[in-house]
């Protein structure tokens, strides 16, 4: 006989499954927590303490910085308040001054206009006085001159701004080397081989002689003068007057000096040392030296051993030559153009500046 099957209860099986799964989940959760607790408890307590101390130190530093920041803010606020107070005081003072000035504006306007008018009148009178004094000085100067300069109708062009012509003893040094024949090297060499008459007609040399003529026309009567010309050696223009001063009384000696220069031929090199030594030997010493030159020296003896000199050697020769100058005497320089001697204006200007003199670059149409 067949056995009767027992009916199956679905609800009972589902409940048991749920219970089993839940219990398994609880066990798994417990194991995870237990593992984490064990990992935490296994950490070194010293490390934890160090981290704690570090955090506490950072907190203290933060508090200190906070206190410092608060103090700084308070200082800034106090300075701002002080500044605002000062600004308010200045504004109040400005307002007071404005009010006070407004009271004087009306009263002083008429006074200002009157003062300006008086100043204009004074300026006009001063200009008139200056003009009259200048005219009187010119008339007196013309009356005191012992000779007149009037080259080819150009007497009205007798001016030379900056040159000092005063002094009781005036020494004029004239460069008469071959470079005074022309401005360029090629023309100097060409003219050097020409006849004497052509050399004397050289435009540059005639300009130098005319310059001496103009200078001698400015010498006052009763003063003393001396004129030296130099190339490889130095000699007085007036023969037999070396080492002595000449009186500028009636202009006869001045006319003679210009006449001699017109007949003198520029030649040979430039020995400036000899010229300055001659200036130092004058007794009493000059109180004004006027130097007419166009370049730096090329020798320091009458017969040099070398035939050519470099630019650097010429500067050295000039430096050695100026050591022979008498001390505390102004040197006024008339510099004529010369091709290739680029250092000359610089060193001559330095000489004039150091002696309280002047240096002028001569134009082609002067005097």
Segment 33-85, tens digit of pLDDT: 776 655 555 555 677 788 788 888 888 888 888 888 888 888 888 888 888 88
Same domain as 220, residue 330: yes
Same domain as 97, residue 161: no
Number of neighbours of residue 170 by Cβ within 10 angstroms: 26
| 246 in any annotated domain | yes
Same domain as 75, residue 210: no
Helix 344-354 × helix 311-322 angle, to 10°: 20
Same domain as 197, residue 114: no
Same domain as 235, residue 87: no
pTM for the predicted model, two decimal places: 0.60
What whole-number distance in Å separates Cα of residue 348 and Cα of residue 276? 14
Q: How many domains does the chain have?
A: 2
pLDDT at residue number 19:
72
Element (H, E) at 235: strand 234-236
Chain segment 138-186, per-residue pLDDT in tens = 655 554 555 655 554 443 344 455 677 778 999 999 999 999 999 999 9
| 262 in any annotated domain | yes
Record the tokens describing residue 36, joined without a space.
Answer: 């984490």
Structural domain harbouring 83: 57-144
Number of neighbours of residue 346 by Cβ within 10 angstroms: 10
Chain segment 125-149, per-residue pLDDT in tens = 778 777 777 766 665 555 455 565 5
Q: Is the peptide bond before 350 cis (omega within 30 degrees of 0)?
A: no
Mention every residue, 6+ apart, whose C-beta is less than 8 A from residue 357: 164, 289, 330, 331, 332, 333, 351
Return the higher-pLDDT residue of 337 and 308.
337
Q: Identify the CA nearest to 184 among candidates 336, 2, 350.
A: 336
What whole-number distance in Å separates Cα of residue 268 and Cα of residue 302? 10
Q: Which of 144, 169, 202 is the last residue of a domain?
A: 144
Strands 359-361 and 224-230: unpaired
Record the tokens describing residue 105, joined without a space.
Answer: 């504006």
Same domain as 210, residue 164: yes
Same domain as 173, residue 115: no
| 320 in any annotated domain | yes
């Amino acid at each position: 006989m067949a056995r009767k099957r027992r009916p199956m209860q679905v609800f009972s099986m589902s409940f048991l499954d749920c219970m089993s799964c839940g219990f398994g989940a609880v066990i798994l959760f417990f194991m995870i927590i237990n593992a984490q607790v064990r990992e935490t408890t296994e950490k070194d307590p010293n490390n934890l303490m160090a981290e704690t101390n570090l955090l506490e130190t950072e907190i203290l530093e933060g508090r200190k910085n906070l206190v410092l920041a608060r103090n700084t803010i308070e200082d800034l606020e106090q300075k701002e308040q002080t500044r605002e107070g000062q600004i308010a005081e200045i504004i109040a003072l400005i307002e007071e001054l404005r009010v006070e000035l407004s009271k004087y504006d009306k009263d002083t306007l008429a006074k200002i206009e009157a003062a300006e008018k008086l100043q204009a009148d004074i300026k006009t009178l001063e200009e008139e006085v200056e003009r009259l004094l200048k005219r009187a000085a010119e008339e007196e100067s013309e009356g005191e001159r012992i000779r007149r300069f009037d080259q080819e109708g150009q007497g009205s062009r007798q001016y030379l701004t900056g040159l000092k012509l005063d002094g009781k003893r005036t020494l004029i040094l004239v460069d008469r080397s071959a470079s005074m024949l022309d401005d360029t090297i090629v023309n100097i060499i060409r003219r050097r081989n020409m006849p004497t008459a052509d050399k004397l007609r050289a435009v540059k040399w005639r300009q130098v002689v005319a310059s001496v003529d103009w200078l001698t026309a400015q010498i006052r009567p009763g003063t003393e003068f001396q004129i030296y010309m130099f190339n490889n050696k130095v000699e007085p223009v007036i023969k037999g007057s070396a080492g002595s001063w000449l009186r500028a009384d009636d202009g006869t000696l001045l006319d003679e000096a210009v006449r001699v220069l017109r007949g003198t031929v520029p030649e040979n090199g430039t020995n400036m040392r000899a010229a300055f030594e001659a200036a130092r030997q004058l007794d009493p010493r000059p109180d004004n030296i006027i130097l007419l030159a166009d370049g730096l020296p090329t020798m320091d003896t009458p017969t040099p051993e070398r035939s050519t000199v470099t630019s650097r050697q010429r500067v050295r020769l000039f430096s050695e030559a100026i050591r022979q100058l008498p001390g505390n005497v102004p040197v006024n320089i008339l510099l004529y153009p010369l091709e290739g001697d680029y250092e000359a204006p610089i060193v001559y200007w330095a000489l004039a500046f150091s002696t309280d003199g002047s240096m002028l670059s001569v134009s082609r149409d002067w005097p």
